[in-house]
Structure 1
Amino acid sequence: MALDRGLIDWVAEALAADGSVTHRRMMGGATLYLDGVVFAIIDGDGSLWFKSDAESDVTWEAAGCARFTHERGDGTVTSMNYRRAPEECHDDPEALRQWAMLGVAAGRRAPVKKKPASRKKRA
């Protein structure tokens, strides 16, 4: 399935007052960033998922938002710290903003991944 640019534009418009939304394509979908902070993904089916963590899980659970899972190549199922966006996020910009900012907060709390040290070229 093609990347849903309309959804990305909708998210960017709803969050325009909070910063700049950018994206990077990944596995048929996209990772979304707000001013460089990962806060959401769009999967290959065009579903929106917001970043979560132990601190925000209670809120996501109370809203009945499923955890993102996917099947690995070996057939095992694994989950990631993302939760399905509530339905109201697709037609209510304020609801989208509120849930997205929960994802942004989780993204800001996430540990920063260090890039591997590059090898020096041998002379």
Structure 2
Amino acid sequence: MDAFTELCIELLSPLGPVRVRRMFGGQGFYVDGLFMALIDHGQFFLKTDDTTRERFIAAGCVPFSFETKDGERVMTGYYRAPEEALESPPLMLPWARLGLEAALRAANAKVKKAPAKRPAASKSAAQKSAAKKPAAKKTAAGRG
């Protein structure tokens, strides 16, 4: 693992155990199983959403973007961490928390959007006992 990746792990470590996975030529960072940051071309980006994005923009941070095979530029919800935040874990902590909060909101939104599975209809106890009893035979007079 390179020195910059090690630094980013150290910067995120106050949030909890950090796991790193290679992805798309870069690296993805997970805290508590939530994908919340990435490194691409030697730059560190944190997840944002509608709640946190303006803080990153106000700090002069730029979004992570990439070019598709068709030559289109795609902007993502990840913004570069402020340069000064890369100096120490205490300086990164407020920004890292914003990234983790955005990742948590995204994960919760996915859970809410998942279609609810309906459990198979269960027979009531009365239906089960009625099914076990043979039906009364009707006589010619129509009585049971």
- Label 1:86 to 1:17 Cα distance change in 2 as closer, same or farther (>3 A): closer
Q: Does 1:50 align with 2:46?
A: yes
Aligned twin of 1:93: 89
Could you tell me which runs of 5 or more consecutive residues in structure 2 were left unpaired when the two chains were aligned: 115-144
Aligned residue among 56, 67, 74 for 2:63: 67
Q: Which runs of 4+ in 1 moved over 6 A?
A: none
Q: Give, as a single letter, the amino acid of the residue that structure 1 aligns with 2:110.
A: V
1:30 deviates by 0.7
Secondary structure of the corresponding residue to residue 16 of structure 1 = helix
Q: Does 1:78 align with 2:74?
A: yes
1:16 deviates by 2.8
The equivalences for 1:11-22 within 5 A come to 11-22=8-19
Structure ranking higher in helix proportion? 2
1:11 deviates by 2.6
1:89 deviates by 2.2
Could you tell me which runs of 5 or more consecutive residues in structure 1 were left unpaired when the two chains were aligned: 115-123
Report the RMSD for the aligned CA atoms in angstroms.
1.7
Aligned twin of 2:105: 109
Secondary structure of the corresponding residue to residue 14 of structure 2 = coil
- Label 1:93 to 1:17 Cα distance change in 2 as closer, same or farther (>3 A): closer
- Separation in structure 1 between the aligned mates of residue 57 and residue 86 of structure 2, nearest angstrom: 19
Contact 1:20 1:34 in 2 (8 A): yes
TM-score norm. by structure 2 comes to 0.69
1:48 deviates by 0.3
Aligned twin of 1:121: none
Secondary structure of the corresponding residue to residue 112 of structure 1 = helix
Aligned twin of 1:24: 21
- Quick one: percent identity of the two aligned structures? 36
Count of residue correspondences:
110
Secondary structure of the corresponding residue to residue 82 of structure 1 = strand
TM-score norm. by structure 1 comes to 0.80
- Separation in structure 2 between the aligned mates of residue 109 and residue 50 of structure 1, nearest angstrom: 14
1:68 deviates by 1.2
